[in-house]
Structure formats: structure tokens, C-alpha cells
Amino acid sequence: MKPAILVLADGTAFRGQALGFEGETTGEVVFNTAMSGYQEILTDPSYKGQIVLMTSTQIGNYGVSPEDDESRRIWAEGFIVREASHRMSNWRGRQSFEDYLLEHKIVSIQGIDTRALTRHLREKGSQIGVISHVNLHEEALCAKAQTAPSIVGRDLVQAVTCDSSYPWKEGSVSWCSNGNGSSPLKPDPPSSYKVVVMDFGVKHHILRSLVDVGCSVQVVPASTHADHIRDLQPDGLFLSNGPGDPEGVPYAVSTVKALLGWKPIFGICLGHQILGLALGLETHKLPFGHHGANHPVMDLRTRKIEITSQNHNFAVSLPHKEQEGALWAPQHFDTAIGRMEVTHRSLNDGCCEGMLGLDSPVLSVQYHPEASPGPHDSSYLFQQFIDMMKGVSHGG
């Protein structure tokens, strides 16, 4: 097999074998602890600017099914695996993992000690790296990694957002029917509420989940002005997931700030962080982020634990220091639209994972409730958004 190398900005090098498209790629190296879902990870726009390391030892053994793509293309800059499966075993699989990487021209590497790399990133933090099949000189690649742009402060959203507004009508039932050839047991529910989705890098299954609970969905580009969103006269506004630093998209923060208190708002992932900035909070970069399908989160109101899917390197900073013993109690803070409550926390590091407006219909979570790793631990959030819109439309 053709040799390949991964070199990090701190000079650490890992030698392995070439995988995927022959070439060279640069990005922030992050590790994902999910045991499956490699296709959804690769096509998640939130990974724009990043090279993804999978901690699971064998990747590709169930192949690729086109209907499982979460967006129009692969967005990850590169892929790192311990071993890529040369065979696929899946009745739905229509393409091998290796052919998938080749088709989308994704430079990847296999055969390295992924446990050692994961430990290194945990200790030293996520950092820029270079995968190369064409240049195996460590010093030259280290220099490239050191001079490559950081994701801090960059606007990565403009690369992944839609070019123009469009309606989305497919729900999970019609997707399953189209994807595996089976007949749906019932049609998608009728659309009762019009929702505008600000596309910061939205995943298809998020849009399906909104249709599933009775939303008529209109997706708009990330740079859409507040006045245009008002002209669409929606019942609610959804702020999607997306890549990079929320402070790199000040235009989106300004739009959300202008719409606070107007209609119910539901934000996830980057949308949660943008909402935080619009409310006057700050954000910060995590050492190595949260990437995986097995992250435990506590709902501070019910004390229930949700197993969540996550993909973010930034988080919302809370407005004041935690008092002794207050980490696992709901925390309240004041904003321009009234009181807000911290509703969810990460059990791994205490990170803010959710917020709720007490005086205004605002809801956000840091994780992906549509991804169903629990499998349905977080599906109530979409219904909570519906209830918010129902309450406003009924004057509640």
C-alpha cells in the first residue's frame, strides 16, 4: 500500500497508508467517538475545516447508502481511521467506503495508532494537521500546519450555507420509504406551522424532524436579513447547526438579535451559540471539543440523563462564575428579552448544553436531538418548539 503521513502543528507525526483520494489536505484534527455513522459524519457541514479521526477501530464495514447523506456533499477536509474495511456487509449498501472517499476526492489515512493520536489530542488539544500522500517530509508538513489558518474567528458558514431560499417537504416517513423501498405506514403529518430555517450548515435529518412534527419548512441562507425573514411571516425561527466559530458570523448574530422576542426561536449546535451571542453572552473554544454519539447530558429540571450526539468545538460561556454546588442546579440570568434558564449540562465537563427563555419563547441545545443516539431521548425538543409556536398563536 502507498505510504502516507499525518503531521500535526506541534511536530508530532504518524505514518500509515494512503486511503481515498491521492493528494494532501489540511484541517483542524478532531476525534469522534461514535462507533458508526461515518457517512453522516463526513457529510455533516459542521465538520467543514476539520480532519476527522474515528476512534472506532474499523470503519466502512457496512458501506455507503446515498440516502444517508446529511447534505449535498462531504464537508470534512480529511479522514483518519485505524483500518478501512475492504468488504461491506449491508443489504442497503450501494457503494464501498473506499470508493466513496475516492468519488468525493477526500484525502485520508489509515494504519496509524488512532488511540495514541486520540490521547495526544486530549492532552494537547485539537490542532491543525496535514495528511499527505505526496510529501512525506515531516518538517515541511509541520511548517504547513503551523501557517495554516485557524478555525478561530473564521467564517466557515458561507462555504456550507445554501445559495438561495428553498422549501423542504420530506419527512422521515417519506425518506424511509424512498430509501429502502418499503411502504410507509402513514403519511407525513399535515403542516400546521411555518418555520424559517436559517441555514448555517443544516443537516437533512433536522429538516425531516421539523416536518415530522407538522412544520412547513422554508430554508434561507445564513446571510438573510431580519426584514426578509419577517416578510416570510413564519410561526417560528430555527437556527441550524454549522461549522466553526460563532464569532466568525457576526451578521447572523445581528439578524438573530433583531428577531429576539418576535417569534419562537429554536437553536441547535452553532445556532445555540449564535443565540447565546445575540443574548449578550460570550462563547469560548473547548480544548478538543465534543464529537461523538455517546455524550451524556443532564436535563437539570428533571434530572434525567440524555445520551446525545454532538459535534462542536465552541461553547456558550455563562454570565457569571459558578457557586459551590450550583453546577447541577438550573441557573437563571437576565437578558434584553427577560430571564433565561440554563436547562442542560454536559456530564463530561459541565459545559452549557441548553437554554430556555422564561419570559420569551426561546429554546436552544448544544447537541443534535435529531440524531437519535439514545435513540429518542431528545425528540421531545421538537415538540417543545411546536408547543411554543402553538402558545404564541393562541395568545399564550
Q: Cite the active site residues.
A: 269, 368, 370
Tally of CB atoms within 10 A around 122:
12
Crossing angle of helices 172-180 and 204-212, in 10° steps, is 120
Cβ burial of 124 (10 Å; 0-12, 13-18, 19+) is middle
For residues 59 and 88, is the Cβ–Cβ distance under 8 A?
Answer: no
Number of helices followed by number of strands (H, E) in the chain = 11, 20
In the chain, how long is the greatest CA-to-CA distance?
66
Does the CA dihedral 285-287-289-290 come out positive or negative?
A: negative
Phi/psi class of residue 328: alpha, beta or left (left: φ > 0; alpha: ψ in -120 to 50)?
A: alpha
Q: Which of 257, 350, 252 is nearest to 300 (CA)?
A: 350
Q: Which of 50, 88, 91, 95 is nearest to 69 (CA)?
A: 95
SS3 assignment, position 378? coil
